[in-house]
Structure 1
Amino acid sequence: EQILGWEARSKVPSEFVIQSSDVANPPSLILTVEALLDRLPRLTVSEANEFRRWSMLVLPRLHVWYQWFNTTQIGSVRLSYRWRGRNPNEIHQLNPLTLSSGLDDFPRASHPTDDERHIDLRCWMTLFARVMAKLASVVTQFMQTEQNGTSRSKLEETRSLIAVYTRWADLLSDQGEMDKLHWSEKHGRYADYGLHTDFVKLEMPDIPTGERHVPNEQTKLIRVATEPPSLQLISTSFGYVNLFPLFPKESFTTSPRASLVCS
């Protein structure tokens, strides 16, 4: 999202106009790529030729995009991921927003830190890797049938991407690894992890003795934690984020965990 022009800037808070190069949004474009790959056997000859040209151009760009995600959004623990952009100094919200995730106000860790693990981003990366492996396989087949021929080095480079992304898809789809990082046995669901307490509330700020203060619409409430936060799975709230492991095809939907999550 780019805030371009005076009209757009007038409607966006100033703190969001300048954007950080390490804050990502969900790679939802990959859903369209997956849909095109699924439709490939049913495309007409002209559509298939168009897809052929497009896929050979887009694969290197998507590869760079994945590598950027896999560098900038990694968590502090192996095979974990974390949305950037949460404000650890936010004191006027019960739960600091996670705007980058697209699920702005879904309750995450109450106290943002680098130790957070976000289950939805890991699922996006799982899907991304699986689609990239399939796309690389299709492009390799296209290259092998090119009438004008493709350089051997380029063919081998593309073929190597199949192995790279198959490996990443397998790693991220491993249920044991997912369970270690995100499964809450207590609540029977997958969840985020971070520095969290459920015991937070918004209160009027303290007024110095002797000062008269009349609350108004501009008065900002201050967040107060009545119990200290601790590193834990954030599993007391249930919503879309907890269902993400069920969304990618051929992922965890056949696992016994699936019935627990859905019950």
Structure 2
Amino acid sequence: MGRYGFANMIGSVSYWTGYCQVGSPCLPYNQAINYGPLTLYSGIPSRPYYPRGFLWDEGFHNLLMRKFRPELSLDIVASWLDMIDSEGWIPREVVLDSEAHRRAPPLLFEDSTVANPPMFIYLIGKLMEDSAIVSAQKDRLIRIFPRLKLLYTWLKDIQKGPKEGSCQWQGRNGTTDLELNPGTTPSGLDDYPRASHPDSQEYHVDMRCWMAMSSTVMLKLAKLANATDWIPTIQSDQILFNNLTALDQLHWSDSAKGYFDYGLHSYEVAIVGKKQPDGSVKYRREVFSKPEYRFVDDVYGYVNIFPFLLKLLPANSAKLQIILTRLNDTQEMWTPFGLRSVSKRSRYYDAYNTDTAAPYWRGPIWINMNYLALEALQHYSTIDGPLKILAKNLYDSLKLNVVTNLSNQYNSTGFIWEHYDDKTGAGAGTRPFTGWSALVLAIMGDAYN
């Protein structure tokens, strides 16, 4: 399975040329223009179903590829950064040639005001943990720095929330009545439930954590590049976004015992079908309790453990202990096959988002997020403190669950899958999916650093 996963990931690396369809606030609704000409050198998640570049997927792909060919990973990062516009935006999905267009949804175009998780910054941070790579690739890292700085600055500006240090994913639809919970595709966690009524006052815990991680990596890169004029700015950002007191004030709920998004939210919503005169059924969302500004604390899952996933909490944190305890609860995220995306106790667990949109990030097990959880558990298991043994035990058990299930599913079906059923462990979604699911190879080798 390991050789298959890595060989197919390397084999997925492709080269495209063409134009990307991009929308803009300057254009009429649902209209786009050609952005380019562009070239892209990148891996893909799945040749038969997703033969195009995905921005945050590619960051995960290269967490594995860097272990074998760090120069290839830097080539791929540079190619993506070559598409950056003057403000710092990069297309989230890149559809350039006829093969990609045949498999892309109709009228797919990118929005120049919408971001994606900064996985390339995370990847550069991992590369810089290896002193041999830094020594060998210092010139390339310095050449990449100006465009990563532009990307980081754009992210900080466009994702700014209503309070100091808060962050907000842009691109949610606050007017739709067709979805149980309006999606947040820019976050990478497409249908993960957020505030039920999107507006400008909401803010999101995962985006805040991405900025905390990014500011730390960018400070390290700025020092490598000797960017003395920008170092004071990024130092200030690093202090702001890594301030745990502020993180707690923005996102921690003492009553619900967790980190949560904040926004205009109703606890009582449902997709209701009404029969039409012609006999058809029309589905729309009904809201049964008035939305109020509050923590979105009827949802618990991947988003809510980001301070743990990105290793932002100290090893002696009481809040980290709460996260690890909830992690180990089979009624929450723990399964014999890996961590499910949303707790079984959550209102949105396994819930369709429309009459036809099956749960995507509302229960299924995703290997990229289990990789981040395992990396974090390994990290905390190596630090002296009250949680060291618990973290080690959870690491060993979770690794066994993930590797055993992927091995069983591969042996029985011949495929690595997009995600896995949290009740049976069965492969689901697209196959073969030797994108981030191939991170099981790194998991098998305990190869995170």
Offset of residue 206 of structure 1: 5.6
Counterpart amino acid of residue 303 in structure 2:
V
Offset of residue 7 of structure 1: 4.0
Give the Cα separation in 2 of the matches to 1:111 and 1:250: 29
Distance 1:114 1:67, change over 3 A: same
User: CA contact under 8 A between 2:127 and 2:134: conserved in structure 1?
Assistant: no
Are 2:207 and 1:85 equivalent residues in the alignment? Answer: no
Are 2:104 and 1:12 equivalent residues in the alignment? Answer: yes
Q: Tell me the residue number matched to 1:182.
A: 251
Q: Tell me the residue number matched to 1:230.
A: 292
Q: Tell me the residue number matched to 1:63.
A: 149
1:48-106 CA-to-partner distances (Å, cap 9, x unmatched) read: 55411112111111111111101111112211111111111222221111111011111
Counterpart amino acid of residue 262 in structure 1:
L
Distance 1:243 1:226, change over 3 A: same
Q: What percent of counterpart residues are identical?
A: 33
Offset of residue 4 of structure 1: 2.2
* Greater share of helix: 1
User: CA contact under 8 A between 2:251 and 2:262: conserved in structure 1?
Assistant: yes
SS in 2 for 1:231: strand
Q: Tell me the residue number matched to 1:106.
A: 192
Quote the RMSD (CA, aligned, Å).
Answer: 1.8
Which of the numbers 159, 167, 173 marks the counterpart of 2:242?
Answer: 173
Give the Cα separation in 2 of the matches to 1:62 and 1:254: 33
Give the Cα separation in 2 of the matches to 1:104 and 1:255: 30
Are 2:262 and 1:193 equivalent residues in the alignment? Answer: yes
SS in 2 for 1:74: coil
Matches within 5 A, 1:4-153: 4-15=96-107, 17-40=108-131, 43=132, 48-140=134-226
Offset of residue 248 of structure 1: 2.3
Offset of residue 237 of structure 1: 1.4
Give the Cα separation in 1 of the matches to 2:287 and 2:141: 51
Count of matched residue positions in the alignment of Structure 1 and Structure 2: 233
Matches within 5 A, 1:242-257: 242-257=304-319
Structure 1, unmatched stretches of 5+, are 141-157
Distance 1:48 1:119, change over 3 A: closer
Distance 1:250 1:189, change over 3 A: closer
User: CA contact under 8 A between 2:313 and 2:320: conserved in structure 1?
Assistant: no
User: CA contact under 8 A between 2:172 and 2:183: conserved in structure 1?
Assistant: yes
1:87-126 CA-to-partner distances (Å, cap 9, x unmatched) read: 1122222111111101111110111111110110110000
Offset of residue 164 of structure 1: 2.0
User: CA contact under 8 A between 1:175 and 1:252: conserved in structure 2?
Assistant: no
TM-score (norm 2): 0.49
1:128-173 CA-to-partner distances (Å, cap 9, x unmatched) read: 0000111112232xxxxxxxxxxxxxxxxx1233332222111111
User: CA contact under 8 A between 2:181 and 2:194: conserved in structure 1?
Assistant: yes
SS in 2 for 1:22: coil
Counterpart amino acid of residue 159 in structure 1:
T
SS in 1 for 2:94: coil
* More contact order relative to length (CA 8 Å, sep ≥ 6): 1
User: CA contact under 8 A between 2:272 and 2:285: conserved in structure 1?
Assistant: yes
Give the Cα separation in 1 of the matches to 2:135 and 2:217: 20
Give the Cα separation in 1 of the matches to 2:151 and 2:291: 35
Give the Cα separation in 2 of the matches to 1:242 and 1:94: 20
SS in 2 for 1:91: coil
SS in 1 for 2:197: coil
Structure 2, unmatched stretches of 5+, are 1-92, 326-449
Distance 1:99 1:48, change over 3 A: closer
Give the Cα separation in 2 of the matches to 1:82 and 1:91: 21
User: CA contact under 8 A between 2:251 and 2:261: conserved in structure 1?
Assistant: yes
Counterpart amino acid of residue 177 in structure 1:
A
Offset of residue 191 of structure 1: 0.5
SS in 2 for 1:62: helix
Give the Cα separation in 2 of the matches to 1:3 and 1:115: 33
SS in 2 for 1:108: coil
